[in-house]
C-alpha cells in the first residue's frame, strides 16, 4: 500500500515538472523563431501594415506581389546560382583535400610526419580574418578578382576537416588493411575502394558542414566579388538592401528568398547536420 | 610481419597499438596539394601580415610597402576607434558569451529531459545555425528600429521608454549583444546535447533507485559530468565571440556611412576594425598591426585555456 501511494505523488510531481519544461521550451522556441516568423509575415504585408504601431501581426491580404517586385529588382536567380556553383566547387575541393590529407596522416609513416601534422593543426588557430589582407593581394596578383575561383580557392584546405577524418580513418580495424595487402590491393585503390566508402558518413558530414559554411560566408566573398555576375546571396542581399531602402516588406521578401533554400536544405539533412556538428565539435 | 619488405619502395611497419602503417614517401604526394594550399593561403598570409604590420608606409595601389618600424602599432594603440573596438569585444565576451552559454545549457538540459517531441525541439532550436546572419540581421535591424520596431513596442508594454537601439551610442552595444546571444544559441545547444548523450545512462539509473530528485540529479550528477563539455563550449564560443563581425556588419553599416560600424563607429569590434582599416580606409599596415594584436590575444586566450584545463577539468 505505501508504495502505491508514493508512486502517485511522484506522478503528479512529474506532470507538473513536464508542463514547466514544455512551457519553457515553447517560450524559448517562440523567441528564437520570432525573427523568422516576423520576416515571413512582413514580407507579405503592405508598407503601412509593416510599420504600423501597435503592430499588425498578420497581413489582411497576403501581398505575394512583393516577391515578384523583389525578384525583378535584383538578379536573385543569378546570386543563388553563383552561390550554388561556388558551394559545389568548395565542397568538392574540401572533400578531396581532406581525404588525401587524412589518409597520409593516418596510414603512412614518413619523415617529419609530426612536424607536418602540427603545422596543419596550427593553421586552425589562425583566425581567417588575419588572412584576408594578403589573400586579397594574392588573388589580385593572380588576376582572379571577381571570379568564382577567388571565392572558394583560399578555403579549400582545412586542418579541421583533415583532423576530423583522420580520427575516423584511424579507427578502422587494422585487419582490413592487412587482408587488402594480402589480396595485393594498391594503397591508392585501398583508399578509394575501402576507406572512403566505409567512412562515407563522416565524409558526407564534412560535405554538408562545408556547404553551409560556404553558403553563409560573407566577409571574403564580399571582398572579392564586385559584379552581379559573381556575387553570392549574402553580398547580393547587402546590395539589394540599399535599393529597397525603407521598403521593409521588400527587404524581408529578399531575405526570405535568401533563407528559403537553406531552410529546405536543413529540412532534408537536419539529422546529419545535427549529428555532424555535435560529433565534430566534441572532437575539435 | 614486422618490417617485411614489400615490393619496391613501400614497406609496412606496425605501431604499438597494432595498426599497420605504410612506410613510403608517397605520403608527400598525398600531402602535396593540401600543403600547397595551406602554405599559400594560410601560412604565407600569416607571415606577411606580420611583415606588413612593420611597414612604415604602404602604397595600396602598387601594393608596395617600405621601411621597417613600429609606427603602425603606435597608430593603432593610440587610435580611439581601436579601443572602442576592444571595449565592445570585451563587453560581448563579458555579457553575450556567458548569457549564450547559460541559456543554451538550460535549453539543452530541458530538451534532454523531455520524452516526447525531443527531435522536433532539437530541430527547431538548431535552425538559426544554418541561416545566414546577414539575412537575419536585416530582420533584427527592423525589429530594433526606433520608430517602427517591435522591440520598442515590446519593452513599452512594461512601461520602458523607447530607445534608439541602432543609433544611440550607449545602446548600440546592447543591440549587438542581443543579436549575438540569439545568433549563438543554436550551435551551443547542439554541442551540449551531444555532451549529454555521452553521459553513461547507468549513473541515472543508480540515482533513480536511490530516489534522488530530478533537480538534485541535475545539479549533483549531470552538471559535474557535463563539465568537460561546458568547458569546451565556453572556450570555443570565446574565440567565436572574439571574432564577431557579420553581426556588426548586418546591423549597423547602413547607419554609419562610409562603411563605419554605426554612427561614429560605436558598434565596432576588433575584426570589424581590421576590415575597416584594410578595406574602407585602405591602410594595410594598420590593418595588419591590428590583426597581429588580435592574433596575439587569441593565442594568449588559447594558452590560458590549455593551462587551466590541464589543472581543473578532468576529462571523463
Residues 76-95 of A with CB under 8 A from B: none
DSSP code of residue B161: P
Q: Evaluate whether residue B220 is within a structural domain.
A: yes
Q: Is B242 found in the same domain as B182?
A: yes
- Per the structure, the count of domains in chain A is 2
pLDDT tens, A127-137?
787 888 899 98
- The answer, yes or no, to whether the previous bond of A54 is cis (omega within 30 of 0) is yes
Residue B118 lies in a domain: yes
A248 and chain B in contact, CB less than 8 A? yes
Say yes or no: B146 and B83 in one domain. Answer: yes
pLDDT digits (tens, 9 = 90+) for B267-306: 899 999 998 998 888 888 899 999 999 989 888 888 888 8
Mutate to test the interface with A, among B138, B140, B255, B261 (most CBs of A within 10 A): B138
Give the residues across from B65 on adjacent strands. B58
Nearest CA to CA, how far is A246 from chain B (Å)?
A: 10
pLDDT grade for B92, boundaries at 50, 70 and 90: very high
Predicted pLDDT of residue B209: 81
Range of the domain at A278: 67-283
Across the interface, which of A21, A100, A135 has its CB nearest the CB of B45?
A: A135
Helices (H) then strands (E): counts for chain B = 15, 4
> Which residues in A lie closer than 8 A to residue B295 (C-beta atoms)?
126-127, 130
Q: Flag the least confident range among A223-237, B10-24, B277-291, B297-311.
A: B10-24
A210: domain CATH number is: 1.10.3720.10
Contact A278 B194 (CB under 8 A): yes
Indicate if A53 and A78 belong to the same structural domain: no
Does B131 sit within 8 Å of A216, measured CB to CB?
Answer: yes
**Mode of pairing for the β-strands spanning B57-59 and B11-14:** unpaired
pLDDT at B15 over 90: no
* pLDDT higher at B282 or A150: A150
Q: Same structural domain for residues A44 and A87?
A: no
User: What secondary structure letter does DSSP report for B13?
Assistant: E
Under 8 Å CB-to-CB from B266, ≥6 apart: which residues?
B84, B169, B172, B173
Cβ contact A252–B139 (<8 Å): yes
Interchain CB distance below 8 Å, B44 and A126: no
What integer pLDDT is reported at residue A6 of this predicted model? Answer: 53
B146 in a structural domain: yes
Cβ of A282 and B191 within 8 Å?
yes
Report the distance separating Cα B83 and Cα A109, nearest Å.
Answer: 49
Measured between CB atoms, does A180 come within 8 Å of chain B? Answer: no
Order the strands of the B20-23 sheet from edge to edge.
Answer: A108-109, B20-23, B11-14
Three cell numbers written together for B277: 582599416
Q: Which residues in chain A have their CB less than 8 angstroms from residue B40's CB?
A: 138
B183 shares its domain with B253: yes
Is there a single domain that holds both residue A55 and residue A33? yes
Interface check for A11 against chain B (CB to CB < 8 A): the answer is no
Residue with cell 522591440: B151
Please tell me the predicted confidence (pLDDT) of residue B1.
45
- Which of A25, A32, A279 lies nearest to residue B110, judging by beta carbons? A25
The tally of domains found in chain B comes to 2
Residues B232, B262, single domain; the answer is: yes
Mark yes or no for CB contact A108/B23 under 8 Å. Answer: yes
For B223, the enclosing helix (H) or strand (E) is helix B223-242
B78 plus B219 within the same structural domain: yes
Nearest chain B residue to A245, by CA: B254
Cβ atoms within 10 Å, residue B36:
12
Query: What are B139-177's pLDDT values in tens digits?
Result: 898 888 887 788 888 888 887 788 888 888 888 899 999
A48 touches chain B (CB under 8 A): no
Candidate from B103, B187, B291 with C-beta closest to A133: B291
A226 in reach of chain B (CB within 8 A): no
Tell me which of B131, B215, B259, B274 to substitute to probe the interface with A (most A C-beta atoms closer than 10 Å): B131
Which is more confidently placed, A79 or A281?
A79
Q: What CATH number has the domain bearing residue B134?
A: 1.10.3720.10
pLDDT-wise least confident of A239-248, B46-55, B281-290: A239-248
Q: Are residues A214 and A147 in the same domain?
A: yes
Nearest CA in chain B to A214: B132
Residues B126, B224, single domain; the answer is yes
Angle at B198 between CA B194 and CA B202, to 5 degrees: 140
Report pLDDT digits (tens) over B98-136: 999 999 999 999 998 888 888 888 888 888 888 888 889
Answer yes or no: is the ipTM higher than 0.85: no
- Asked if A116 lies within 8 A of B35 by C-beta distance, the reply is yes
Residues in B touching A17 (Cβ below 8 Å) = 214
A165 plus A53 within the same structural domain: no
- Check CB contact under 8 Å for A104 and B31: yes
- Three cell numbers, residue A64: 505575394
CA B89, B93, B95: angle at the middle one, nearest 5?
115
Q: Do B127 and A263 touch (CB under 8 A)?
A: yes
Residues B36 and B142 in one domain: no
Alpha-carbon distance B219 to B70, whole Å?
52
Residue B285 lies in a domain: yes
Could you tell me if B92 and B195 lie in one domain? yes
Within this chain, do residues A88 and A182 fall inside the same structural domain, yes or no?
A: yes
B226 and B289 Cβ atoms separated by less than 8 Å: no
**Domain shared by B142 and B189, yes or no:** yes
In this structure, are A59 and A91 located in the same domain? Answer: no
* B7 pLDDT tier (thresholds 50, 70, 90): very low
Q: CA A153, CA B260: separation in Å to the nearest integer?
A: 28
Mean pLDDT, rounded, of chain B? 84
Contact A277 B193 (CB under 8 A): no
Q: What is the mean pLDDT of residues A246-262?
A: 89
Q: Is residue B60 part of a domain?
A: no
Name the band, by pLDDT with cuts 50, 70 and 90, for residue A1.
very low
On whether both A126 and A245 belong to a single domain, the answer is yes
- How far apart are alpha carbons B95 and B76 in whole angstroms? 25
Bin B64: left if φ > 0, else alpha if -120 < ψ < 50, else beta.
beta
Q: Which long-range contacts (CB under 8 A, 24 or more apart) does A86-90 make?
A: A86/A148, A86/A151, A86/A152, A86/A214, A86/A221, A86/A232, A87/A211, A87/A214, A87/A215, A89/A148, A89/A149, A89/A152, A90/A151, A90/A152, A90/A155, A90/A156, A90/A210, A90/A211, A90/A214
Contact flag A266-B130 (C-beta cutoff 8 Å): yes
Question: Are residue B194 and residue B247 in the same domain, yes or no?
Answer: yes
**pLDDT attached to residue A282:** 39
The answer to whether position B186 is within a domain reads: yes
What b/e sequence results for A195-208 when a residue is b if at least 16 CB atoms lie within 10 Å of its CB, and e otherwise?
Answer: bbeebeebbebbbb
Statement to judge: residues A46 and A141 lie in one domain? no
Confidence (pLDDT) at A279: 67
Of B76 and B13, the structure prediction assigns the larger pLDDT to B76
Is A118 found in the same domain as A41?
A: no
pLDDT greater than 60 at residue B3: no
Residue B103 inside a domain? The answer is yes
Are B151 and B258 members of one domain? yes
Average pLDDT value for chain A: 86
| SS3 state of residue B147 | coil
**Alpha helical stretches, state H, B13-96:** 26-38, 44-52, 71-78, 80-91
Q: Is residue B62 part of a domain?
A: no
User: What residue numbers bound the domain in which B134 lies?
Assistant: 74-312
Residues A188 and A164 in one domain: yes
Do A72 and A15 share a structural domain?
no
Contact A109 B21 (CB under 8 A): yes
In this prediction, what percent of chain A has a pLDDT beyond 70? 94
B270 in the same domain as B197: yes
Amino acid at each position: 500500500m505505501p508504495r502505491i501511494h508514493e508512486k502517485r505523488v511522484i506522478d503528479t510531481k512529474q506532470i507538473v515538472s513536464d508542463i514547466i519544461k514544455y512551457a519553457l521550451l515553447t517560450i524559448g522556441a517562440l523567441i528564437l523563431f520570432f525573427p523568422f516568423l516576423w520576416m515571413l509575415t512582413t514580407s507579405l504585408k503592405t508598407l503601412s501594415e509593416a510599420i504600423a504601431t501597435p503592430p499588425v501581426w498578420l497581413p489582411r491580404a497576403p501581398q505575394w506581389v512583393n516577391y515578384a517586385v523583389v525578384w525583378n529588382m535584383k538578379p536573385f536567380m543569378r546570386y543563388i546560382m553563383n552561390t550554388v556553383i561556388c558551394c559545389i566547387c568548395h565542397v568538392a575541393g574540401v572533400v578531396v583535400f581532406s581525404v588525401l590529407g587524412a589518409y597520409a596522416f593516418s596510414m603512412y609513416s614518413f619523415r617529419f610526419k609530426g612536424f607536418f601534422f602540427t603545422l596543419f593543426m596550427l593553421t586552425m588557430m589562425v583566425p581567417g580574418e588575419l588572412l584576408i589582407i594578403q589573400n586579397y593581394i594574392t588573388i589580385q596578383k593572380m588576376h582572379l578578382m571577381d571570379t568564382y575561383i577567388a571565392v572558394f580557392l583560399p578555403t579549400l584546405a582545412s586542418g579541421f576537416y583533415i583532423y576530423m577524418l583522420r580520427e575516423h580513418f584511424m579507427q578502422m580495424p587494422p585487419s582490413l588493411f592487412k587482408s587488402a595487402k594480402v589480396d595485393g590491393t594498391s594503397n591508392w585503390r585501398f583508399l578509394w575502394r575501402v576507406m572512403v566508402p566505409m567512412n562515407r558518413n563522416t565524409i558526407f558530414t564534412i560535405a554538408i558542414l562545408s556547404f553551409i559554411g560556404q553558403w553563409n560566408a560573407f566577409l571574403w566573398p564580399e571582398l572579392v566579388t564586385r559584379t552581379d555576375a559573381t556575387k553570392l546571396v549574402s553580398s547580393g542581399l547587402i546590395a539589394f538592401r540599399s535599393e529597397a531602402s525603407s521598403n521593409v516588406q521588400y527587404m524581408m521578401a529578399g531575405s526570405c528568398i535568401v533563407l528559403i533554400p537553406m531552410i529546405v536544405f536543413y529540412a532534408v539533412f537536419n539529422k546529419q547536420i545535427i549529428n555532424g556538428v555535435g560529433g565534430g565539435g566534441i572532437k575539435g | 610481419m614486422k618490417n617485411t619488405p614489400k615490393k619496391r619502395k613501400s614497406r609496412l611497419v606496425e605501431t604499438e597499438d597494432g595498426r599497420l602503417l605504410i612506410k613510403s614517401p608517397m605520403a608527400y604526394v598525398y600531402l602535396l596539394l593540401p600543403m600547397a594550399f595551406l602554405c599559400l593561403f594560410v601560412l604565407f598570409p600569416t607571415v606577411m601580415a606580420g611583415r606588413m604590420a612593420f611597414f612604415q608606409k604602404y602604397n595600396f595601389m602598387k601594393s608596395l610597402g617600405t621601411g621597417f618600424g613600429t609606427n603602425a602599432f603606435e597608430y593603432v594603440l593610440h587610435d580611439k576607434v581601436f579601443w572602442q573596438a576592444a571595449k565592445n569585444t570585451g563587453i560581448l565576451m563579458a555579457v553575450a558569451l556567458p548569457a549564450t552559454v547559460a541559456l543554451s545549457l538550460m535549453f539543452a538540459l530541458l530538451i534532454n529531459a523531455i520524452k516526447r517531441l525531443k527531435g522536433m525541439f532539437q530541430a527547431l532550436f538548431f535552425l538559426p545555425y544554418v541561416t545566414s546572419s546577414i539575412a537575419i540581421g536585416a530582420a533584427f535591424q527592423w525589429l530594433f528600429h526606433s520608430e517602427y520596431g517591435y522591440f520598442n513596442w515590446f519593452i513599452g508594454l512594461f512601461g520602458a521608454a523607447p530607445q534608439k537601439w541602432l543609433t544611440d551610442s550607449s545602446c548600440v552595444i546592447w543591440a549587438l549583444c542581443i543579436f549575438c546571444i540569439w545568433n549563438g544559441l543554436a550551435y551551443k545547444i547542439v554541442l551540449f546535447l551531444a555532451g549529454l548523450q555521452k553521459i553513461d545512462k547507468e549513473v541515472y539509473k543508480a540515482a533513480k533507485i536511490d530516489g534522488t530528485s530530478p533537480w538534485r540529479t541535475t545539479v549533483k550528477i549531470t552538471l559535474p559530468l557535463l563539465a568537460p563539455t561546458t568547458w569546451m563550449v565556453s572556450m570555443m564560443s570565446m574565440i567565436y565571440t572574439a571574432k564577431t563581425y557579420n553581426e556588426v556588419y548586418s546591423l549597423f553599416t547602413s547607419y554609419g556611412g562610409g562603411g563605419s560600424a554605426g554612427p561614429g563607429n560605436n558598434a565596432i569590434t576588433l575584426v570589424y576594425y581590421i576590415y575597416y582599416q584594410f578595406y574602407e580606409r585602405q591602410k594595410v599596415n594598420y590593418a595588419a598591426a591590428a590583426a597581429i594584436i588580435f592574433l596575439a590575444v587569441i593565442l594568449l586566450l588559447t594558452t590560458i585555456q590549455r593551462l587551466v584545463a590541464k589543472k581543473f577539468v578532468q576529462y571523463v
